[in-house]
Amino acid sequence: MIKLDKTLSKDVSMELFEFGDNILLKHHIKNANEIKPFLEVNHKFWLNLCGLENDHLLKEISELFAIHPLTLEDIKNTSQRPKFEEFDENIFVVAKMIYHKNKAHGPITEQVSILFGKNYIISIQENPYDIFDPIRTRLENPVGKMRKMGTDYFAYTLLDAIVDKYFDCLENAVEKIETLEDQIISQSKKTKLPEIFQQRKTIQQIKRNVWPTRELLSAWKKSESPLIKKKTNPFINDVYEHVIEIIENLEIQRESISALVELFMSNLSLKQNEVMKTLTIIATIFIPLTFIAGVYGMNFQFMPELGWKYGYLFIWILFLGSTLAMVYYFKRKKWF
């Protein structure tokens, strides 16, 4: 599947930000050779690559930055679990971003690989989604921390932007769950089960990505690599706390959904009970009456009651009495 053309395919785009305390230059890069010179200048740079289709390019980059073949495979394999790996020269992080293209559908998961060394940060996205826009904005600020602090701080800001997206997705799900809850408690008519199950799937999808992200951050916190400076710690702690908060919220939402399903099912049972009662009351009252009417509709030649003067009146008294007795019985049984 290796494409040998050295130009970028349509689906792959690269941008390189060269930056220092007093400088910010944006370069559009076409191939790996153009990156080489930046490795030797004094400034730091951020290379953002969108699209994994150009195998040749990825291979060249991996050679340029001495990336282990297994790491390259992790970058290409978009179902890679989030993880944190230290090497001698750089640190490699796989993260998953999650976002809604369309609020009506479930969220989309995409892989972001981050590699940072002493003076470079590389981020590799699957598609050119705008998740890093706020970072570009912050980078333009000449007095912000982005330019002054190390590449580890830069990598932190990327992770922070990714984790913020989890909050968005979670909030979206919470909102929908609360709407469903209101609908179920107020017992409006439509079936909502598939919608509940849709939200359960979303919660599960976030959970599936956020758990390994926690492990990733935990590994970062424990890391003793010289690339990770002590003063970045409070920031990583901060993201870590956000992730813990998301995890706890997911658990709460999971329980809410279970309670919702339970409530839905018990509402259904309550309604069915009511339906059964209605049927039973009507049937229990009228079936015996119909029988009595049937009796006096028989054509026997000798049926003395038929000739009685007050027979018909008497039969109506029987009908009404029987009905009242039944109604009293059901009242006492608290059926209505």
Q: Residues 39 to 68: which contact a second copy by CB under 8 A? A: 68
284 binds a second copy (CB under 8 A): yes
HSE (CB half, 13 Å, CA atoms) of 147?
Answer: 19
Residue 10 phi, psi dihedral angles, 5° rounding: -60, -35
CB closer to a second copy out of 6 and 336: 336
Return the beta strands (E) in the chain as ranges. 13-20, 23-28, 44-50, 83-86, 91-99, 108-116, 120-125
303 binds a second copy (CB under 8 A): yes
* Interface stretch with a second copy, choices 43-51, 52-60, 150-158, 273-281 (CB under 8 A): 273-281
* Interface stretch with a second copy, choices 41-49, 152-160, 220-228, 243-251 (CB under 8 A): 243-251
CB closer to a second copy out of 39 and 279: 279
* Interface stretch with a second copy, choices 1-9, 98-106, 123-131, 268-276 (CB under 8 A): 268-276
Among positions 189-228, residues that touch a second copy (CB under 8 A) are 189, 191, 193-194, 197, 200, 204, 208, 211
Shortest distance (Å) from residue 180 CB to a second copy = 13
* Interface stretch with a second copy, choices 12-20, 100-108, 135-143, 265-273 (CB under 8 A): 265-273
The C-alpha torsion from 77 through 80 and 85 to 91, rounded to 10°, is 50
317 binds a second copy (CB under 8 A): no
Shortest distance (Å) from residue 169 CB to a second copy = 16
Consecutive H or E run containing 177 = helix 151-185
As to burial, measured by CB atoms within 10 angstroms (0-12 exposed, 13-18 middle, 19+ buried), residue 157 is: buried
79 binds a second copy (CB under 8 A): yes
What's the DSSP call for residue 265? H
The C-alpha torsion from 299 through 300 and 302 to 304, rounded to 10°, is -60
